Amino acid sequence: MEIVIVVSCAFLVIALMKFLYDYLWIPLRIQQVLNSQGINGPPYRFIHGNNKEVSKMRMETMSKAMGLSHDIFPKVQPHLYSWINKYGKNFLYWNGVRPQLVITEAELVKEVMKNNENSFPKRKPTIYGKKLLGNGLVLIQGEKWVKRRKLANHAFHGESLKNMTPAIISSVETMLEKWEGGEGREIEVFREFRLLTSEVISRTAFGSTSEGIRDCVMEIVKSRENRVVNGEVEGFGNDFFGLLLNAYHGLDDRNRLSLEDLVDECKTFYFAGQETVNSLLGWTVFLLAIYGDWQEKARREVIDIFGDQNPRSEGIVKLKTIVSITSHHDPQLWGDDVHLFKPERFAEGIAEATKYNATAFFPFGLGPRSCVGMAFAMTETKIAISMILQRYTITLSPAYVHSPVASLTLQPQHGIQVILHSLHNDGLKYANPKNPSDIHQIK
């Protein structure tokens, strides 16, 4: 009996020591080592790290709307904003017991993103991340990544991308048909673009118009296999899904995709291709709505290039104004007028605007793991915005409340409500940017 108690006690003591080692000794040791190298940050707190502070700061900023300013960093990432100010450009904070080294210094960012020595592996995905994204291209590494990246490159560039244009146009047309008759009424574009972007990625990547791609991967597999077996078509198709299906049926054992790989890759592309473009389209329309002069400039370019015809691939690359509609936040890189909306910064191209500093502006990432869908995302955005500008002028609805929040992508907490005025029925009746009552308060 006594032996049992002694063994249990010893076991408990070892477990407690291991717990204290992992949750106290290791974090404090890492903190001490980094502090000694000049990297400081908010102190580690037992078990929670800095999570409570982060939640508190985020709750506080989320509960308040802001004026129509571009200075959104303190609102969307209040913890990073306050710690950069307090501890400098590079600092350490704690996500529970996981140390997070934040670096914003351009040279260091470049080194990490280029990852020449392969010293910075992707971090292990969380269960939530895996569920949402699937264990696809964004998360995989090594040989597996090289092969799948090649496949995706092929599916989302060059001729393949050109062949997607009709499907994108037709999805935008469906959305615009729904908008017809709603002129002068308020419309929540973020929700509209959510439907549009999921339709576009489903049709272009998977050749299917069904919603909820995760649930119907098997259905698409079966339907394509049946068509091949019945002799209706020769192969599985040239879209992304067709390429995946070829790899799934591949003869080479080493390179063959499992069904699980296939489903994961579909999840990845559905999520990566939808949420991101949804956000880009929503905020672009928002900016065009408050800056009527830039809206007019962008429309003039669209009309010059396409007239009232649907966008064509050769013209899409010539659209420059839409690409320059963006915002940035570091005064050391962009100057004291960083928060002013000045797309003219990009008049001579991105390289010139950033003084050839690639880390000053990299919305699509940098280096080998940069976005494989960039050309696709820009094509979809240019087509959708062009087709809207050909038909409507856009003003911001008085109901709009400015409250951007970071939730993987930048989301408008209360949607983006705009008012559409048909160019063909109402004439040019959009906000005059010089009239402050039209555009509320813009810093």
Binding site for ligand HEM (CB under 6 A): 137-138, 149, 156, 268-269, 272-273, 276-277, 280, 363-365, 369-373, 376-377
Name 90's bridge partners.
Answer: 103
CB of 76 to ligand HEM, least distance (A): 15
- Nearer Cβ to ligand HEM (363/436): 363
Let me know: does 184 contact 421? Beta carbons within 8 Å.
yes
Let me know: does 316 contact 383? Beta carbons within 8 Å.
yes
Nearest residue to 372 (alpha-carbon basis) of 137, 144, 172, 41:
137
CB of 263 to ligand HEM, least distance (A): 15
CB of 439 to ligand HEM, least distance (A): 25
- Nearer Cβ to ligand HEM (382/421): 382
Q: CB 240: neighbour CB atoms within 10 A?
A: 25
> What letter would DSSP give residue 311?
P
- Nearer Cβ to ligand HEM (44/286): 286
CB of 277 to ligand HEM, least distance (A): 5
3-state secondary structure of 422: strand
Radius of gyration of the chain (CA): 25
> What letter would DSSP give residue 21?
I
Cβ neighbourhood burial of 345 (10 Å; 0-12, 13-18, 19+): buried
CB of 168 to ligand HEM, least distance (A): 11
Q: Is the dihedral of CA 388, 393, 397, 403 positive or negative?
A: positive
- Nearer Cβ to ligand HEM (139/442): 139
Whole-number Å distance between alpha carbons of 288 and 283: 9
- Nearer Cβ to ligand HEM (201/298): 201
Nearest residue to 299 (alpha-carbon basis) of 417, 168, 185, 391:
391
9 is in an annotated binding site: no
Name 235's bridge partners.
Answer: none
Whole-number Å distance between alpha carbons of 182 and 425: 12
Name 92's bridge partners.
Answer: 101
- Nearer Cβ to ligand HEM (365/427): 365
- Residue 21 tokens, joined: 């080692």
Whole-number Å distance between alpha carbons of 310 and 383: 8
Nearest residue to 402 (alpha-carbon basis) of 58, 65, 63, 64:
65
- Nearer Cβ to ligand HEM (158/427): 158
CB of 381 to ligand HEM, least distance (A): 7
Q: 275-301: string of b/e by CB count within 10 Å (b at 16+)?
A: bbbbbbbbbbbbbbbbbbebbbbbbeb
Q: Which residue minimizes CB distance to ligand HEM?
A: 373
**Given the structure tokens 């000045």, which residue do they identify?**
342
Residue type, 214: R
CB of 139 to ligand HEM, least distance (A): 8
- Nearer Cβ to ligand HEM (45/114): 114
- Nearer Cβ to ligand HEM (99/367): 367
Q: CB 325: neighbour CB atoms within 10 A?
A: 23
HEC string for 378-416:
HHHHHHHHHHHHHHEEEEECCCCCCCEEEECEEEECCCC
CB of 20 to ligand HEM, least distance (A): 34
- Nearer Cβ to ligand HEM (8/370): 370
Nearest residue to 243 (alpha-carbon basis) of 171, 166, 130, 137:
137
| Binding site residue list | 371
| Binding site residue list for heme | 371
